[in-house]
Structure 1
Amino acid sequence: MHVLPLRPPSAALPQRILLVENSRSYTRMVAEAIEQKLGLPVTVAASLAEAHDALESHDDWFLALTGLVLADGNRDAVVDFFLDRGLPTVVVSGVYDEDLRRRVLRRQIIDFVLKNAPGSLDYLLWLVQRLERNRRVSALVVDDSSSARAYAAALLELYGYTVVEAADGDAALAALEADSTIRLAVVDQEMPGMQGIELARRMRSVRTRDRLAVIGVSGNEDPGLVAHFLKNGANDFLRKPFSREEFFCRVSQNIDQLELIGSLQDLATRDFLTGLPNRRHFLEQSERMLAKLLSEGEAITVAMLDIDHFKHINDTWGHDAGDQALRAIAAAVAGHARPQDLVARFGGEEFCMLVPGLARDEAHAYFEGLRHRIDTLQIMVNEEEVRVTVSIGITMATPQDSLSRLLCEADRCLYLAKAAGRDRVQPSWTPAASAA
C-alpha cells in the first residue's frame, strides 16, 4: 500500500486565486463573486507578465483561472506558463472550440469552462469551492493493476484530493481503518482474492453511507454488475474506459452528496448559534453512553450550567451581546471539555455536560476550573467589556441511575447554586465528606 503525505491543517492551506483575463468587466464580475460568496482572495492579471509579477509577490497560491487570449502569449504558452509552475489551473474560454477543449484537457488542466455559456459563473463558483474543499478529503483507490491505480490516483490528485492507494481488498480495509479522513473509495471489481463487490460490502460494514462514498469500477460488460455493486453498498459505478470529465463529475457529485448529508445532520444535531450539540443530540448520545459506562463501573458526573443574570445582559447591552456571551461560553465549555466528555447547549442560557472517569474531588475541581475559565472571559460589546459568571450544579451516577434522574438532580443542584449567591459549583454531595 502506498500512502501519500497528509495535507497540512486547513488553516495552513493556500487560499489565494489568480484570475488572468483581458476582459475587465468579466474579471470584476468573477472576482467579486468568488470573494463575496466563497471568501477567497482573488488577484487579477491581464497578461502573463502581470501574472508573473503577482506569483512572485505571494507564495500562498491555491488556483489559477485563466483565459487563453492574452497580449503576450498564445494558447499553448498560457497553458505552459501555469503548468510549469505546478499551479492547479482551470481554463476559462470565450469561444467554444471542441478541438481546443480536447487539446487543453489532454494536459494537466483541471477543467475547461466556457465563460459565456448560461450558468457558467455558477459552475465556476461551484468548481472553485469544490477544489478548495477537496484538499481536506482523502480518497482511496483500490486496483491490482498498478497502471490503472496510478491513473485514477493522478486524476484525484489533480482535483486536490490526498490519495491513498491499495492493491487489494485487505490493504484497502486496513487503510480505511487507519485513516478517518478517507471519504471516497474508488474500487475495481476484478481483483484476486477479494473482488470489488465483496470489498464494497465489507467497507460498508466499517463506514456508513454518510461517511464514505464508494464508486465501483469495471471494464466488464456484464449488465448486472452495476446492480450488484449498488446492492452491496456502492454509491455509484463507472465503466472502464471512462473519460476524465465523467470521472470528475461522478466523484464530485458523490462528495457533494456526503457534504449535503453532513449539513443536514448538523442542522438536526447542532445548535445553530453556538455550534455545540443540541439538546436532542445530547439526550440520544448520553443515553447510550450512560448505559455503557455504568456497565463498566465507570464514574460519571452530570452537570447543568446556567449563565448568571443573563436577562440583565440582554436588557442592558441588547440581544446581540447576549448572543456573543452564549458563543463565548460555549467556546469555553468546548475548550475545557476532554475528548471523552459530552457537552451540549440544553436551551436558552443553559448548558449540559456528561463527564466520565472522575472521582468526586476530581469532578468538583474540574467544574471549578470551568467556572473560573468562564469568570475570566473578556467579552467586548461596542468597546465595552461585559463580564459573565455561571452557576453549575453537578451530581454523580449510581449503578441503577437513569439519565432523567441525573438531569433532575443536577438541575436541583443548579437551583441551590443560584440560591446561594450564584457564580459557584454546587455538588449533590458534601465536599467535606468527599475529602474524608
Structure 2
Amino acid sequence: MSTASAMSAIGSAHAALPQRVLVVENSRAYTSILREAIEQQIELPVEVAATLADAARLLDTKDDWFLVLTGMVLADGDRDQILDFFTSRRLPTIVVSGVYDEELRQRALQQQIIDYVLKSTPDSLDYLVWLVRRLERNRRIGALVVDDSLSSRSFIASLLQAQGYQVAHVADGSSALRTVEADPGIRLCIVDQEMPMMDGIELTRRLRQLRARDRMAVIGVSGSTDPNLIPRFLKSGANDFLRKPFSREEFFCRVSQNIDQLELIGTLQDLATRDFLTGLPNRRNFLEHSERLLAESAQDPITVAMIDIDHFKHVNDNYGHEAGDQALRAMAQVLHAHTRPSDYSGRFGGEEFCMLMRGLDRHAALAHLETLRAAVQAIELDIDGRPLRFTISVGACQRDAQFPNLHKLLGEADRHLYLAKAGGRNQVRGLEEAT
C-alpha cells in the first residue's frame, strides 16, 4: 500500500458512525441489566432480541448497527447456527456465554468473533461495558502497520480492523514516516523488526522524533528469540513488544491496554490544561501557548483581546449560580466558534476570557471582535422559562514597538477593557484607530 493509499484508508472513516447495539439473549433479567449499563454509561441505543428470528427482523428493519452481543442458548438455534448467523452478516460480534467451553471459545475466535466473555464472573458486566466503550472509541483512531511481508501486515491489519480501528499498512520505514507525519489521527503503530533498509528499532527511534509517547503508541513485533530485542525496542521509544506468533486475545489485550493508557494521559493533560466548566484552555495553558505563538509569528500582526461578561454578578444574583454556569458555557461556545485555527483562546478566570489573533491588521481584528461581541449579544438562554441575555466588553491591543511581548499586550488590553466597562459596556475598545 502506498503512502497516499495509507492516508486515504485512515481518512475514510464515516462522519456519522453506526451507533446501535443488538443484545441477543434469552434471559430477560440479564438483558435488562446489560442494556441499562450500556445505555447509561456509554449512551448508545440498545435493541434486544430473544431469538435469532427476532434478531433477523431487527437487523433487516434498521441499518445503523454497530455491534452484537449474543448468548449461546436460544430457542431457535444451536451454538453453531448462532455463530454462523452473525458472522455471515459480517457484524462485529461478542459472544457472552454462561459456561466456559474451550471448544466453543476456540471456534468463536477462529470465526473472527471479537471476544468470548463469561457472564457468570463477578466483573463480567464491567468488562463488557469497557469492551463496548473501547470498540466504539476505536473507530475514531488511526492505526498503521509496518511490515515488509504482505501476508504478515495484512493479518495484523485484519486484527485491528476487527477491533474497529481505521487501519493502513505500509511495507517500509520511509513510507511509515511519511504517513505518520502527514496524518495526526494515527495513534497506534505496529512495527516489525525485520525489514530491509530500516529495521523496526530504527523506525521506532525516528517515529519518536515525530510523535511523543503521549500522542502515539508504538508496539514492536518480531519472531526473533533474541532476549535483547525487547529492551532495545523499549529504550528506542516503543510502548510495548509482542513476540510472534501471538494469539488474537493477547494482541487485543496489549493493543487495548496501550490505547487506554494514551487516553488516560490525554484525560490527565486535559484536567491540567483545560478549564473544567467550559472546556477551554485554562489561564496557564493560554499564557504558555500564546508565548509560543508570539515567538513563532515574529513578523505577523498579533492582537490580544481581554473579554469580560457584563454584570455577571447580576446573572448569579437574579438567576442563580447554575444559570451563571450556563452563561459561561454559552460564552465559551461562541468564543470557540470565533477562534480561527491560527488563533488561541481561553478562560482567564471567573467571567473573564482571552483571545490571541494572528495575521489580522487593526481593522480586521476590530471587525472580528465586533462579530464576536454581536454573537454573544444574540445569545438567549431559557432559565426555567425566563429568558437570559448578556453582553461582553472587550479590550484589545495589537503588538508594536511599545507593546512587544505578551505581558505588555495583556496589560494594555486589560486597560482598554476597563475603558470599555467605564464607557457603557457591550463594546470593543483599543483598536478604534481603524475606524
TM-score between both structures, scaled by the size of structure 2: 0.97
The CA deviation at 1:401 is: 1.6
Query: Residues 346-370 of structure 1: CA distance to partner in whole angstroms, max 9, x if unpaired?
Result: 0000000111111111111111111
* SS at 2:213 equivalent: coil
The CA deviation at 1:312 is: 0.6
Identity, in percent, stands at: 62
Letter in 2 for 1:395: C
Q: Does 1:412 align with 2:421?
A: no
**Corresponding residue of 1:385:** 387
Moved over 4 A (4+): none
Asked whether the equivalents of residues 10 and 168 of structure 2 are also in contact (C-alpha less than 8 Å), the reply is no
Asked whether the equivalents of residues 139 and 163 of structure 1 are also in contact (C-alpha less than 8 Å), the reply is yes
**Corresponding residue of 1:24:** 28
Residue pairs, 1:16-415, within 5 angstroms: 16-294=20-298, 297-399=299-401, 401-415=404-418
Residues 320 and 199 (structure 1), Cα distance of their counterparts in 2 relative to 1, 3 Å cut:
same
Unaligned runs of 5+ in 2: none
Asked whether the equivalents of residues 13 and 139 of structure 2 are also in contact (C-alpha less than 8 Å), the reply is no
1:203 and 1:111 map into 2 onto residues whose CA distance is 31
1:383 and 1:280 map into 2 onto residues whose CA distance is 37
2:270 and 2:169 map into 1 onto residues whose CA distance is 31
2:12 and 2:50 map into 1 onto residues whose CA distance is 32
2:56 and 2:434 map into 1 onto residues whose CA distance is 70
1:48 and 1:336 map into 2 onto residues whose CA distance is 51
Query: Residues 124-146 of structure 1: CA distance to partner in whole angstroms, max 9, x if unpaired?
Result: 11100000000000100000000
Query: Residues 145-168 of structure 1: CA distance to partner in whole angstroms, max 9, x if unpaired?
Result: 000011000000000001110100
The CA deviation at 1:7 is: 4.2
Asked whether the equivalents of residues 93 and 113 of structure 1 are also in contact (C-alpha less than 8 Å), the reply is yes
The CA deviation at 1:9 is: 4.9
Asked whether the equivalents of residues 7 and 136 of structure 1 are also in contact (C-alpha less than 8 Å), the reply is no
* SS at 1:316 equivalent: helix
Q: Does 1:6 align with 2:11?
A: yes
**Corresponding residue of 2:426:** 423
The CA deviation at 1:403 is: 1.1
Asked whether the equivalents of residues 91 and 109 of structure 1 are also in contact (C-alpha less than 8 Å), the reply is yes
* SS at 1:241 equivalent: coil
2:85 and 2:384 map into 1 onto residues whose CA distance is 49
1:268 and 1:46 map into 2 onto residues whose CA distance is 47
1:315 and 1:81 map into 2 onto residues whose CA distance is 61
Letter in 2 for 1:118: P
Residues 16 and 181 (structure 1), Cα distance of their counterparts in 2 relative to 1, 3 Å cut:
same
Asked whether the equivalents of residues 271 and 345 of structure 1 are also in contact (C-alpha less than 8 Å), the reply is yes
The CA deviation at 1:178 is: 1.7
TM-score between both structures, scaled by the size of structure 1: 0.97
* SS at 2:189 equivalent: strand
Once superposed, what is the RMSD of the aligned Cα atoms?
A: 1.1
1:402 and 1:180 map into 2 onto residues whose CA distance is 31
Letter in 1 for 2:110: R
Aligned length: 429
* SS at 2:136 equivalent: helix
